[in-house]
Structure 1
Amino acid sequence: MDAPTPHPCRPRPRVVLTFPGQGAQHARMAAGLYGVSKSFTSTMDHAFDAFGPAGRTLREGWLAATPPAAFDDISYAQPLLYAVNCAMGAMVTEAGLRPDVLLGHSVGELAAATLAGVFSFDCGLRYLSEYIGVYRHAPRGGMLAVAASPREVEAHLVPGVVIGAVNAPRQVLLSAPEEALADVEAALRGAGITCSRARALQPFHHPVMRDVVTTYAGLLTRPPLHPPHTTLYSAYTGQELANELATDWQFWTGQPAEPVLFGPTLEHLLSSGPHLLVEAGPGQSLTALARRTPAVARGDAKALALLPARAGEPDADIEAVRAALKQLATCGCDPLSPDF
Structure 2
Amino acid sequence: MIGFVFPGQGTVRVGMGGWLRRDPVGAAVVARADELLSEPVSQLCARGPLDKLVDTSHAQPAVIACNLAALAILRERGVEPDIVAGHSVGEISALCAAGVLDVDTALRLVATRARLMADLPETGGMTAVLGLTPQRVEELAAEAAGPGEPLVVGLENAPDHTVVSGATAAVERLVALSGAVGARKVVALKVSNAFHSPLMAGALDGWAEAVRATPMRSPRVPVVPNATGEPTTDLPTIVDALITQLTARVRWTATMRVLADAETLVEVGDSKVLAGLLRGVGASCVSMADPAAVRRLRRPEPAA
Q: TM-score, normalised by structure 2?
A: 0.88
Match of 1:325 in 2: 295
Match of 2:29 in 1: 43
User: Of 157, 165, 168, which residue of structure 2 is paired with 1:167?
Assistant: 157
Map Cα deviations across residues 200-230 of structure 1 (whole Å, 9 max, x no partner): 2121110221233236755777122211012
- Mapping for residues 71-220 of structure 1, pairs under 5 Å: 71-140=53-122, 141-147=124-130, 148-157=132-141, 158-159=144-145, 160-193=150-183, 194-214=185-205
Q: Assess, with a 3 A threshold, how the Cα gap between structure 1 residues 215 and 98 changes in structure 2: closer, same or farther.
A: closer
SS in 2 for 1:211: helix
1:252 aligns with 2:242: yes
With 141-150 and 38-47 compared, the bigger mean Cα shift is at 141-150
Match of 1:61 in 2: 44
Instruction: Tell me if structure 1 keeps the 8 A contact 2:4–2:267.
Output: yes
Q: Assess, with a 3 A threshold, how the Cα gap between structure 1 residues 306 and 174 changes in structure 2: closer, same or farther.
A: same
Q: Assess, with a 3 A threshold, how the Cα gap between structure 1 residues 219 and 112 changes in structure 2: closer, same or farther.
A: closer
Identity of aligned residues (%): 26
Map Cα deviations across residues 172-223 of structure 1 (whole Å, 9 max, x no partner): 1111133322332233234442110223212111022123323675577712
Instruction: Tell me if structure 2 keeps the 8 A contact 1:167–1:264.
Output: no
Instruction: Tell me if structure 2 keeps the 8 A contact 1:30–1:84.
Output: yes
Instruction: Tell me if structure 2 keeps the 8 A contact 1:118–1:247.
Output: no
SS in 1 for 2:53: coil
Match of 1:9 in 2: none
Match of 1:292 in 2: 280
SS in 2 for 1:257: coil
Map Cα deviations across residues 110-156 of structure 1 (whole Å, 9 max, x no partner): 10101211122211222222222322232323221111211221232
SS in 1 for 2:200: helix
User: Of 13, 21, 36, which residue of structure 1 is paired with 2:8?
Assistant: 21
With 133-142 and 72-81 compared, the bigger mean Cα shift is at 133-142
SS in 1 for 2:204: helix
Match of 2:18 in 1: 31
Show structure 2 runs of 5+ residues with no match.
none
Once the 2 structures are TM-superposed, how far is the Cα of residue 305 of structure 1 from its aligned partner? 0.8
Once the 2 structures are TM-superposed, how far is the Cα of residue 255 of structure 1 from its aligned partner? 1.6
Give 1 or 2: higher helix fraction. 2
Show structure 1 runs of 5+ residues with no match.
1-13, 297-301, 308-319, 335-340
1:279 aligns with 2:267: yes
Letter paired with 1:126: R
SS in 2 for 1:80: helix
SS in 2 for 1:165: strand
**How many correspondences in the alignment?**
292
Task: Measure, in 1, the Cα distance between the counterparts of 2:112 and 2:51.
Answer: 22
Task: Measure, in 2, the Cα distance between the counterparts of 1:217 and 1:288.
Answer: 32
Instruction: Tell me if structure 2 keeps the 8 A contact 1:163–1:174.
Output: yes
Task: Measure, in 1, the Cα distance between the counterparts of 2:45 and 2:235.
Answer: 36
Q: TM-score, normalised by structure 1?
A: 0.79
Letter paired with 1:139: P
Once the 2 structures are TM-superposed, how far is the Cα of residue 26 of structure 1 from its aligned partner? 1.1
SS in 2 for 1:172: strand
